[in-house]
Amino acid sequence: MTKLTVNGQEIEVDASPDMPLLWALRDKLGLTGTKYGCGIAQCRACTVHIDGEAMPSCQIEIGDVGASEITTIEGLGEDGSHPVQRAWVSGNVPQCGFCQSGMVMAAVALLEKNPNPTDEEINDEIVNICRCGSYSRVRAAIHQAAAEMQKG
């Protein structure tokens, strides 16, 4: 049994400590909003927050998480009202959508650190793969969310 704190709740996961967090979330806890795309830290579809930091959950063994707070896309809020999500919806960002949980989580973490990122900073921080090529709208939605968040 491994103890994890996921979306503000403490839970026990019955899995060996070397299981990647991604698979514990998906197959043990049913939190399927976090996606698998590569398993090797390339695509970032599996991005979650560990103590607020965007991390690829396929690279983190559950035994190493300790007391850190894990936030998944489901934990951003049930009603999709996070400004980043609102910008995503109003900007019609998703196509197939499979990368978008990871994109949203990466964008939220970026805006927490840097409330008004430049295009260059977005380029450096958002390294997620979108095979559908939604990048233009991702960029526009990040700027939109930044503007909304600054209005408060």
Partner 1 sequence: MTKHDKIVLSRRGFLSAAIGTAGAVAFNLTIPAPAHAAAEPVELHSWVVIKPDNRVAVRIPQVEMGQGCTTALAQYVMEELDLDPVQTDWEYYDPATNQARDNVYVHTATLASFGMEMLFMPMRTAGAQIRAMLVQAAATRLGVDAGSLSVEGHAIGDGSASVSFAEVAADAAALSVPQGVSVKDPSQWKVIGKPLDRVDAFSKSTGQAVYGMDLQMEGMKYAAVKQSPVYGGKLISFDFDAIKDMPGVIKAVAIKAGPTGYTVPPTLWDIIDWEMDDAVAVVADTWWEAQQALNALPITWHEGRHRATSTDSIEADLGAALDAGGMVVRNEGDVETALQDAAQTVEAEYHYPYLEHAPMEVMNATALVDGINVEAWAPTQYGDEALRIAAYAAGITTIRAKFHMTLAGGGFGRRLHNDYVSQAVQVAKQMKGTPIKLIASREECLARSYYSPIMTARFKGGVDADGNVTAWKSHSAQGRSVLQPYGMTRTVFPFANINVQYSSVEDTPLPFAWMRGVGHTQNAWMNHGFMSELAAAAGMETVDFHLKHLRTDAVAEDRADKDDAIARIKRFQRVYDHVLSKAGPAQEQGKGRGRGVAVYDMSYVPGFHSSCIGIAVDLRLEDGDVKLERVTASVDCGLAVNPQIIEAQIQSGIMFGLSNAINGKITIADGKVEQSNFDSYDILRLGEAPQMDVHIMPSEEKVPAGIGEGAVPVVIGALVDAVWNAGGPRIRRLPVRDHDLTLRG
Q: Which is nearer to ligand FES, 4 or 106 (CB)?
A: 106
Contacts 24+ apart (CB under 8 A), 73-80: 73/33, 73/34, 73/48, 73/101, 73/104, 73/105, 74/7, 74/31, 74/33, 75/6, 75/7, 75/8, 76/104, 76/105, 76/108
Query: Which pair of tokens denotes residue 49?
Result: 């927050």
**Interface with ligand FES, residue 89, by CB under 6 A:** no
Find the binding residues for ligand FES in span 104-133 (CB under 6 A).
Answer: 130-132
Contact 63, 18 (CB under 8 A): yes
Q: Which of 5, 19, 36, 149 binds ligand FES (CB under 6 A)?
A: 36
Other Cβ atoms less than 10 A from the Cβ of 67: the count is: 9
Distance of CA 149 to the CA centre of its chain: 18
Strand, helix or coil for residue 72: coil
Write each residue from 52 to 71 as x if it is in contact with ligand FES (CB under 6 A), else as -, in one continuous string: ----x-x-------------
Which entry of ligand FES, partner 1, none binds 143, CB below 5 to 8 A by partner kind? none
> Which residues of this protein are in contact with ligand FES, per CB under 6 A?
36-39, 41-46, 56, 58, 94-100, 130-132, 134
| Interface residue list for partner 1 (CB under 8 A) | 6-7, 9, 11, 15-16, 19-20, 22-23, 26-40, 42-43, 45, 72-76, 78, 80, 85, 88-90, 92-101, 104, 122-124, 126-139
